[in-house]
Each structure stands twice: as C-alpha cells, then as structure tokens.
Amino acid sequence: MNYRVTLLPGDGIGPEVTKAAVDVMKFIANKFDVDIQTTEELMGGCSYEKHGTPLTDETLQACYDSDAVFLGAVGGYKWDSLPHRLKPEAALLKLRKSLGLFANIRPAKVYSAFVNSSSLKSEIINNTDFIVFRELTGGIYFGEPRGMDENKGWNTMVYSREEVIRIARMAFLTARRRNKVVTNVDKANVLEVSQFWRNVVEEVSKDYPDVELRHMYVDNAAMQIVRNPKQFDVIVTGNIFGDIISDIAGMITGSLGMLPSASLGKDYALYEPVHGSAPDIAGKNIANPIAAITSVAMMFEHTFEMDKAAELIYSAVSKTLGNGYRTADIGKETDKIVSTDEMTKLIKDEIENIYNEQAIGVFTL
Ligand code: IPM
Ligand code: MN
C-alpha cells in the first residue's frame, strides 16, 4: 500500500517530537511493507514568520492531498499578542474546520509504569482506561454571532441535529468494541443547546441497544473524573466541555506528555500529541516524544486500519517505560533519564524485539 502523510512540525518542541514520530512511522511501515511518503509544510508561528499568516493555502492544499496529517505542536509566547486571526491557534481551528475533523478522540489510559506519577492515589488511578470523544468543529468555538466591542463580548453555542448524530454514532460504535458504556456530558439543566444535544444522543442510542447510555452534567463529570475515573468507558461531549474535560482526563494519567489524539472527519484525519509546544524546553533534545509516537499508533489504527502495527507501538512504549526510561520532563531521580532521540531509539529497539518474538511465536505454532 502507498500512503501520503503531510507533516506539520510547527513550533517549539513540535519539530523534535515530529522527527521522533516519523522515525517510528517509517520503521513500522518498513516492517509491515507499506510505503509512506511524507512532505513537510509550515503551520503556526513558523508560518507567520515566513508568510505573515499561520496557515497558507499551500499548506492547506497539501493536507487535502494526503491520507493523513501529523501535527507536532503550534504556538508560543512570541505570538501571544498578535490579533486573534494571526495567532497559531487560529490556524489550528481553521485546519480542523476546513478538513471537517468533527471528532476529536483523546484516550485517557494509564500506563502501569505511571500509576505513581499521577496527581491521584494509585488505587484510584490504576487500570483507568477511557476515551473522550469531543465534538470539534461546532459549538461555541464556531457559532455565530460572535464578537466584542467596548461594552460587551459575545459567542453563540449552537448544535445542529446532524452535528450531534455523527459524533454520537462514533462514540457508540467505539463503546460497542469496548465496555459498552457511553457517558454523555452536557449542561442540560441550564442550556437549551445541551437539552437539544441530549435529546439527539438519546435518539441515536436507540440504534445501539447493547450499549448503556448515561448522562452527566459537565461540572459533575469534572468531579467524577478525579473521584472515580474507572467508572468511564467512552465519554461524548461538545467542543468546549470536551476541551476542558480532556485536559482533566489527561492530567490524571500522569502526564500530558504521554497522550496522543486523533481528529477524524469523513474524508480527512489529523493526528497530534495533546501537549503544547513547550517553548521553554525547545531545541534541547529533552522533550518527551511518547505522545507524538503514540499519535502515530493512532494513525495506523484509524487511517491505515493496521491494528497490529498500532498495538506493536503501544506495547513497545509500555515496555520501555516499564524498563524505567524517562525523558527529563517526567523523570525522577530513580529513573533512567534519556534524551528525546534516545527514547525514540529505545522504543524502536523494543518494537524490533516484540516483532521478532511474535514472528518466532507464529513460527513455532
Ligand atoms: C486543544 C487546544 C485548542 C482548543 C486551542 C489551542 C485552540 O486547547 O486542542 O485542546 O481549544 O481546541
Ligand atoms: Mn485544550
């Protein structure tokens, strides 16, 4: 098979973690005999510096022409005072909207090696494994009217039936392959838009009688995630609630530096680590590449439909962490501290080991 992947390394640590991710992507592609061509484009602050805009038409076109997009990270203090439309964040929102990436998937899974790094007690966090499905191209992020003048500022939270149906279906389909519980998170006790959202999710749930549907108000959900995260399997929610909930979910797993994400639409897909551009540690070869590397695992799973390849990456990451290796950002004195490049190499070595063990296993069968 031949695939084209557009790389948007972006700003700060983005280029370093992208390099690590591509390294693993090509290594795996080679093993599984698929051909992945990559092209690199500017996006974010780096694009603003060169072209005066954080997202050019050329970059957007390159994304339209590819099977998947990989994004490192965008943004930095340097561009914080620019007008809204020139900020790196505006480019990200435009990219999501233009590619129709309505479903943002953020898994909150605790690696056993990380149970003691969480801000929660180990007995609360161990074995936590849930996924947040965040609606990504609607809601208050994009609703009209929006604006501000000297006396007020305003935004509009609006959802159409179609927008709710498509994200809800994805959540139910995923729950069906997992523990069969969808928790819908909204604010239906106050907002009409949430009452409407909830009604539509209820309608959709009728097509998935094997999956249990629960409802939770967003403030309670925030509390429940830190109280008893094991109660969740799949969470489905709107854009702004999902933004907030997925940061909470990410943090309790030990480090945002560990978490991948996928943003999927009908025709396109974008993969990016959940963490930001961390400009303070950029260029030092100390950033943690694991979220970027596991974002590549999500790419193999969702775009290339190569679950085996994805599992191989996840297992290699778990094994490497289990062996005590950490990048400096998440390491303690007792850990074996390694650089970004070394961590990437260790993960590739583990991929090789596990791959060979599996090959021997198949052979002896
Ligand atoms: C995220 C980020 C973005 C968002 C920002 C950078 C626009 O926080 O991906 O969660 O709010 O969606
Ligand atoms: Mn966010």
Helices (H), the chain: 14-31, 45-51, 57-64, 88-98, 122-125, 161-176, 192-205, 218-227, 239-252, 290-302, 307-322, 340-364
**Of 319, 308, 237, 254, residue with least CA distance to 114:** 254
Percent pLDDT > 70 in the chain is 98
- Catalytic-role residue among 141, 208, 271, 325: 141
Question: How high is the pLDDT of residue 315?
Answer: 95
Say what the alpha-carbon torsion angle 290, 292, 297, 302 is, to the nearest 10 degrees.
150
Chain-wide mean pLDDT for the chain?
95
**Ligand 1, atom 7: closest residue by C-alpha:** 89
> Which atom belonging to ligand 1 lies closest to the Cα atom of 246?
10
Whole-model pTM? Answer: 0.94
Task: Kindly state the average pLDDT of the residues 196-213.
Answer: 98
141 carries an active-site annotation: yes
Confidence check: pLDDT of 294 > 50: yes
Which amino acid is present at 21? A
**Side-by-side strand order, sheet with 103-109:** 35-40, 2-10, 68-73, 269-273, 260-264, 103-109, 129-135, 234-237, 181-186, 212-217
* Domain span(s) for CATH 3.40.718.10 in the chain: 1-102+265-365, 107-255
Q: At what angle do helices 14-31 and 340-364 cross, to 10 degrees?
A: 20
Which ligand is closest to the CA of 104, given by its number? 1
**Token output for 201:** 């999710």
3-class secondary-structure state, position 27? helix
Cβ-Cβ contacts under 8 Å for 26 (sequence gap 6 or more): 36
pLDDT in tens, 113-133: 888 888 999 999 999 999 999
Q: Which of 31, 97, 180, 243 is catalytic?
A: 243
As a whole number, mean pLDDT of residues 274-281 equals: 93
Amino acid (1-letter code) at residue 57: D
- Residue to substitute in 71, 89, 133 for testing ligand 1 pocket (most ligand atoms within 8 angstroms of CB): 89
C-alpha 243 to ligand 1 mean position (Å): 7
pLDDT band, very low/low/confident/very high, at 163 (cuts 50, 70, 90): very high
**Token pair 């996006």 in the structure block, residue:** 43
Say how many Å lie between the CA of residue 275 and the centre of ligand 1. 10
Strands 212-217 and 234-237: unpaired
Q: Which residue type occupies 90? A: A
Question: Could you tell me which CATH number the domain at 107-255 has?
Answer: 3.40.718.10
In three state form, how does the secondary structure of 283-307 look?
Answer: CCCCCCCHHHHHHHHHHHHHCCCCH
Please name which of 11, 89, 7, 6 lies closest in space to residue 49, comparing C-alpha atoms.
Answer: 11
Average pLDDT of the residues in 298-309: 96
> Exposed, middle or buried: residue 280 (CB in 10 Å: 0-12, 13-18, 19+)?
exposed
pLDDT digits (tens, 9 = 90+) for 86-103: 999 999 999 999 999 999
Specify the CATH superfamily of domain 1-102+265-365: Isopropylmalate Dehydrogenase (3.40.718.10)
CA distances from 107 to 34, 62, 194, 355 (A): 26, 28, 23, 24
| Per-residue confidence band for 254, with pLDDT thresholds at 50, 70 and 90 | confident
* Annotated catalytic residue within 247, 329, 335, 341: 247
